[in-house]
Amino acid sequence: MNEQTSRLNRERRFLVLLGVICLALIGGALYMQIVLGEAPCPLCILQRYALLLIALFAFIGAAMPGKRSLTLLEGLVVLSAIGGIAAAGNHVYILANPAVSCGIDTLQPIVDGLPLASVLPLVFQVDGFCSTPYPPVMGLSLAQWALVAFVLTAVLVPLGIYRNRRQA
């Protein structure tokens, strides 16, 4: 096995790990929703979509045989993470400024109108308000944890590409 193949395989393993982490985060959100009764707001659901897209693109990218297709899927992972940063960043802002609303009246029909909301309503339908303060997990709100995850994804994926693709 040559050096380039080894480096691309390292990227593929990272993408599989990233996809599994994203699915685990969605699973954690579902646990908090179903077991702990924490209702998801429109921005929570948008963050779930971003996590699902990251996982989907990461798994597809890990299965791609060529460098170009792998890079394209990694680019889609980063774009999905940027969308997640926008949703989670807005959510963090709303939690810090409770007088600001997430616009549930405006966002709810849009988010509930997305295709997965009718296919998997338990996972992708809005049921709460963005300003509802739930207990923190290890000192951070869920929105803050999501923001950290999205920022790490948006930074680490391009860094991994750079590290693995530069000339030895």
Question: In 3D, which of 148, 165, 31, 39 has the Cα closest to residue 92?
Answer: 148
CATH number given to 3-165? 1.20.1550.10
Confidence band, pLDDT 50/70/90 cuts, at residue 87:
very high
Between 40 and 152, whose confidence is greater?
152
Whether the predicted model's global pTM rises above the 0.85 cut: yes
Q: What is the distance between the alpha carbons of residues 100 and 102, in angstroms, rounded to a whole number?
A: 7
What does the pLDDT look like over 64-83, one tens digit per residue?
Answer: 988 888 999 999 999 999 99
Question: In 3D, which of 159, 17, 151 has the Cα closest to residue 84?
Answer: 151
Q: At a CB cut-off of 8 Å and minimum separation 6, what does 102 contact?
A: 41, 42, 43, 90, 91, 94, 129, 130, 131
Domain ranges of the chain: 3-165
What does the pLDDT look like over 4-59, one tens digit per residue?
Answer: 777 788 889 999 999 999 999 999 899 989 998 888 888 999 999 999 999 999 99
